[in-house]
Structures are given as C-alpha cells and as structure tokens.
Amino acid sequence: MLHSPTDLAHRRTRPAHWLATATALAAVIAGAGLLQPGRATGATPAAGPGNDPRPTAPDAHAVTYPLDCKGAPHTVTETAQGDLDGDGRPETVAAVRCDAGSGTPPHAIYVLAQDPEKGSAPRVVATLLDAERRRTATGLTVRDGSITARLLGYSSPSVPRYSPDLDQLTKWRWTGGKFRQELTDPTAERV
C-alpha cells in the first residue's frame, strides 16, 4: 500500500519529538536511581540465642602504635584477622610503617585485641616484628591460628634499598601464653 506525502507528515521527527524523548528517558533514569536497593554492608547475620552479633576483629586504623616515626604519620599497609588465642574472639594482625613520603621504611607487625565490652577501644597486645629489624613485610595472613608473613631485608648496608636480597618466610603461633616464632630460617635465604 502506497502512502501519500501528507499521510507521512505525522511520522517525521522534529526537534520537539527528540526533546520529549530525551526528557522521558532522563525521568526514567532518575527514577531508577531513586529506587536502588540499599548499600551492601558485608555484615553477617546475628548468631546464637538472643541474637548476639558475632564478635568483630579490632579496627587496625583505630589504634595508636608504639612506632616512632619522628613526627611523620604511620600507615597500615596490610591486615589479617583470626582467632589467634582460641578465646572465640578474632584478633587483628597489622603491618605498619612510617609514612615517609618516599622510599619504603621498614615495617613493624603488631597483634591487636579488643575487650568484649561494648565501646572498648582496640589495643596493641604484642609486637611480632620491631621496625629496628629493618624488614619489609608482605603477604600477611592468618590461618588456623598461625600468622605468616614474608620478610624482605638486606644483608649489608651496601645493598641498594630498592633491591632487598634477603627473603624469609616467618610464622608465629600463640603457645604457652605468648607468640612464638616458627618456620624461620635465622640466616634467611638470599634472593
């Protein structure tokens, strides 16, 4: 069937049609933005009788560390969480260093705990690695009550600071009321 030019006149698009379409589309997009689901929090559902929430690990960023940065701020570079002493409450292990602005200052590794009372602040309960040992910690994990980290260091002052030549896998475990170091090669392998 053929159409006359006058029959097709109503089918031509004009700027007003495009403006109406764009306005309707913008309204749909704005409406979809308002109807989005709530933000995911990653929270776990309450557990146990009385719906007591499960204990959470201490926040590594809410602690004052015994690390002398000579006025510079400190930075937490890695954390790992788990129940290290078998009390049913998770601890946090934090690798912390001074934020010097350049270079890679040595790490200290701390264990953090928090009292079960509501509102109690997290605190350092153990130092696993002191910054004076001049090591860089990577690969910090907590698994089956053990803490593991790879410690990088230097065999002498002449080794360039951008190229550590010592690589040592170190493991700590809570035994006999304190953390003891395991699986440590005291000589550390040269890279």
Top pLDDT among 53 and 130 is at 130
- Mean pLDDT score of the chain: 81
Give the pLDDT score at 47: 47
Give the pLDDT score at 55: 83
Top pLDDT among 147 and 50 is at 147
Q: Which pair of tokens denotes residue 90?
A: 């998770």
pTM, two decimals, is 0.68
What value does the mean pLDDT take over residues 31-38? 58
- Local structure of 146: helix, strand or coil: strand
134-181 pLDDT, tens per residue?
A: 999 999 999 999 999 999 999 998 988 788 999 999 999 999 889 999
Work out the number of other CB atoms within 10 angstroms of the CB of residue 167.
Answer: 15
Does 108 score more than 90 pLDDT? yes
Domain boundaries defined on the chain:
54-190
What is the rounded distance in angstroms from the CA atom of residue 120 to the CA atom of residue 80?
Answer: 20
What value does the mean pLDDT take over residues 82-89? 92
| Beta-carbon contacts of residue 187 (< 8 Å; ≥ 6 apart) | none
